[in-house]
Amino acid sequence: MTGKALELEGVGRRGDDRWLLHDVTVRAERGEIVHIAGPSGSGKTTLLRLLARLDEAQSGEVRILGRSITEWPVRELRRTVGLVPQEPFLLPGTVEDNLRSAERWAPTPRARSRTELEAALAVCGLEGAWLDRVGDVLSRGERQRVALARTLLMEPSILVLDEPTSALDPMQARQLGASLLGWARERQATLVQTSHRFEEIRRLGGSLWVLVEGELVETGSVPDVLDAPRTRAAQVFFSEPEPEPTP
C-alpha cells in the first residue's frame, strides 16, 4: 500500500490568546510510524484532534488518504482514523460491553467472537479474563488499554494515540509499543502517537515530528532528529530531562 496517509498544508488553529498550531505543513505515508514530541502545551494533542476532526483547522487544509477531511462523512472518518485520547471514555458496563460497542463501527459490522475480543486485548497487554471486569473501576492505564483494544476492533487505517504509555511502567510500555508496532506492520496501518519517552521513540523508529509553541520545528527519521537536531528549538527541547510518567 502506497500513497499519503495524511497531509497538513499550512494548518493553523488558535486558542483564546495564541496560536495552538501555526502554519504546520507535514505528511505521513501509508504504513509509516510517526512520533510527535514537544514540550507541554506545544500543540501535540491539538494536532491529533485535527486529524480526527474533533477540532477544526482555522487555516490551511488537512487531507486523509488524499481526500480533504471536510469531504469525509463523519462515520467513515471515525472508523478510518482511530483516536485514543490520554483520558479515554468508557461506556457503562463490562470491558466486553465496551469492546462490542466497536462492532458497528468496523468496515464490515458484525458480532465478534470472544476469541477476537481476547486477541484485541492481548495486543494491549491484557488477558481474556478482563472481558468480565467492570469498566468504571479500572485505573487510568487500564482504561487506556481497553479503549485502545476497542479502537483496534474498528480496524482503522490510521491509529492516532495521545501518550498511550504515559500511565504504564517501563516494561509495560515496551511490551505495548512492540505489540502496536507489530499490529501496524501486519495491517500496513499508519501509527501516529505523541510520546515523552525518547527511549521508546528510538526503539520503535520511524519518523519524528517536534512541535514547540505550536510550530513544527523539526521533522525527519527518529535517529536523525534525536541524535542531530538541526534547529535551536529542538536542541533545547532534547537537552532537557525527560518528564516523569503520569501515574
C-alpha cell at 183: 499490529
What is the C-alpha to C-alpha distance for residues 158 and 5, in angstroms, rounded to an integer?
7
> Is residue 244 assigned to a domain?
no
> Is residue 17 assigned to a domain?
yes
Q: Name which of 52, 53, 44 is nearest 196 in CA terms.
A: 44
Structural domain range at position 200 = 4-239
pLDDT at 47 over 60: yes
> Which 3-state string (H, E, C) describes 188-239?
CCEEEEECCCHHHHHHHCCEEEEEECCEEEEEEEHHHHHHCCCCHHHHHHHH
Q: Name which of 84, 26, 80 is nearest 57 in CA terms.
A: 26
* Total structural domains within the chain: 1
For residue 139, give Cα distances in angstroms to 83, 90, 121, 167: 19, 12, 16, 9
Residue 103: what pLDDT?
85
> Is residue 247 assigned to a domain?
no
Q: For position 51, which CATH number holds?
A: 3.40.50.300
pLDDT in tens, 109-153: 788 899 999 999 999 999 999 999 998 889 988 999 999 999 999
> Is residue 116 assigned to a domain?
yes
Interior angle at CA 51, CA 72 and CA 211, nearest 5: 155
pLDDT in tens, 143-159: 999 999 999 999 999 99
